[in-house]
A and B are shown apart, each in its own frame.
Chain A
Amino acid sequence: MNKILLDSTKNFNKEGTYKLELDKDITINIESDNIKLYLVTKNDIKINFNIKKSVTIYNITTNNIKMNANIYNNSKLDFYLMSITDKKITNEVNIYHQNKETISNVTCHGISYLKGDLKFSVNGYIKKGMINSVCNQSSRIINLDEGKSLIEPNLFIEEFDSIANHSAYTGPFDEKLLFYLETKGISKKESFNLLLNGFMKLEELPKDYENILDSILDKVMRR
């Protein structure tokens, strides 16, 4: 993981994979296609994205974050949030479709453990005139121990000629899945750990980035 000291604004105008640790408010401009951003947010921060080309963004966090994304020029945003907490935190994600034919796919997965209280507030905005835009949200939080959670999925759609979907789930792991794994001879603990890993690793991640997630998950598994 590269630790990059960032100015309050960072431009990405060359395709590639970038890994960043963020610890203060920042504005990120995406100006080239084929960019993958792997972020780790360290403090309670606000990130503004101006997305002028299609991009995939991953973010691992254990803190409060507010993320605003403005999507322009037929661009597409794929955003994956991986949030794990034993504290009271809110992750707010606001997606603004600023032009026609823009697409957003937002997937937020979280774990609220011990006395955690995790809230996802995910808001998609398609204004009148932004025809053929697509705004998809999928949010899931697994509560462990005394962990609590809340998901507020909001779609503010003013344009009829657009598509918007959302799904949300909060609760424990499905007992049926644990039973299935246990019938294969896998102990409850290992079954649980497999489900936890599978739930949080939404996509194949670069090894060094996955290691960061693993070190956070390790705390959950060892609790």
Chain B
Amino acid sequence: MFVIDKLNVKVKDSSKEILKDFSLTIKDGEIHAIMGPNGVGKSTLSKVIMAHPDYVINSGTITYNEDTLNNLTTDEIARKGVYLLMQDPSIIDGVSNSEALRTAIKERGSDTNLYTFITKMKKELDSLKLPKEVMHRSINKGLSGGERKKNEVLGLKVLTPSFIILDELDSGLDVDSLKVVAKNINEYLKENKNTSVLIITHYSRVLDLIKPDYVHQMEKGKIIKTGDISLAKEIEKIGYNGVNEIEMNKDYE
């Protein structure tokens, strides 16, 4: 189970508060989506979970399966089974996909047998409709925005995490690529039923492909509303402000 409890986060060397008393519980196997307009702290949340050095946790806790993540380093959190699929994956010239992923497997103390690794990589590249050469290419170099996202899903399938954060999965992806990526993630979730997912998104279209159990609306660093997929549809239809206005009117009545 993944639990964020009353988390207060500031930008390092600044008084700017990003998350305010943010709380969220995700049980094993659940898919949660967080929606919100730009600048409410959605992507920051994903970086805070991964202990990005630009942010400081002032109070509150992040726990995953009895482990408190607050004081762990980024790599330690990843090795606990947390995988961040970034909105804008970096390009790393000179470091190949296979080199990085094999190192990551080795760091987990798992089997790094070359034949097993190559076979797995080939299978997953095929499934993601990525050329086999991507394996030996520099990370994300020469790849389109969509291919970079697919490459991140490749990492996911090779490293087999149990908690996945999808940060703006659909940004930079065309409709066909989004379908391929979503299909691969859904297949992974089917094979790994206890895996939980946190989807961070502006739009509901990704939620049509990866169905969430819960949808949360975020504003000013905290969750202000929780519902099911119908909340996402409502937001898509009348916008974030519209949803809030209706809520305020309901309260007034």
Interface residues of A, Cβ cutoff 8 Å to B:
174-177, 179-188, 190-191, 194-195, 197-202
Contact = CB atoms under 8 A, between A and B. Distances in A.
Interface stretch (B2-10, B102-110, B127-135, B173-181): B102-110
Shortest beta-carbon contacts, A-B, top 10: A198-B94, A185-B78, A182-B74, A198-B95, A180-B90, A184-B104, A182-B75, A185-B79, A185-B104, A194-B95
Contacts of A199: 93-94
A187 B104 CA distance: 8
Nearest to A189: B75
Given A179-B53, A194-B99, A187 B86 contact: no
Interface string B157-172: 0010000000000000
Given A185-B79, A185-B104, A177 B74 contact: no
Interface in B72-119: 73-75, 78-79, 83-84, 86, 89-90, 92-95, 99-101, 103-104, 107-108
A197 B95 CA distance: 8
Interface of B: 50, 52-53, 73-75, 78-79, 83-84, 86, 89-90, 92-95, 99-101, 103-104, 107-108, 138-139, 155, 159
Contacts of A184: 75, 78, 100-101, 104, 155, 159
Contacts of A188: 73, 75
Contact of B100 (A176, A186, A187): A186
Given A197-B94, A198-B92, A186 B107 contact: yes
B236 to A, nearest CB: 30
Nearest to B139: A180
Given A182-B74, A185-B79, A187-B75, A176 B104 contact: no
